[in-house]
Amino acid sequence: MESLNCPKCHSDDMHHSHIRNSLESFLNIMGIEPYRCYSCNFRTYVMEKGKRNDSFSFMTFSDKIVKLLWYCFLIMIAVFIGIIVVTRIG
């Protein structure tokens, strides 16, 4: 059914991994789930892009991209809070 392959060793022995922190909870809300490769133990983040020709297509994210997304999200929240504080005081 699934055609998800490990970005590192190309094995299809990929399984859902447990959510470990707030970053991964956030990603889960965005539809990105942590996966672990049982062949080489590589951990990655996967977004299901939809079903096509009876097989799922996936988009994998490296740790770097995921962290970048997370920082962008935190900056957005900081800016948002900043705007609220400034408009309340001003």
Residues that bind Zn ion (CB under 5 A): 6, 8-9, 11, 37, 39-40, 42
Burial class, 6, CB count within 10 angstroms (exposed 0-12 / middle 13-18 / buried 19+)? buried
Q: Which is nearer to Zn ion, 35 or 66 (CB)?
A: 35
Q: In angstroms, give the least distance from the CB of 80 to Zn ion.
A: 39
Q: What's the closest the beta carbon of residue 20 comes to Zn ion, in angstroms?
A: 19
Looking at beta carbons only, is 60 or 70 nearer to Zn ion?
A: 60
Compute the least distance from the CB of residue 10 to Zn ion, in Å: 7
Using CA atoms, how far apart are residues 2 and 4, in angstroms rounded to an integer?
6
Cα separation, 80 vs 90, in Å, equals 15
Residue type for position 67: K
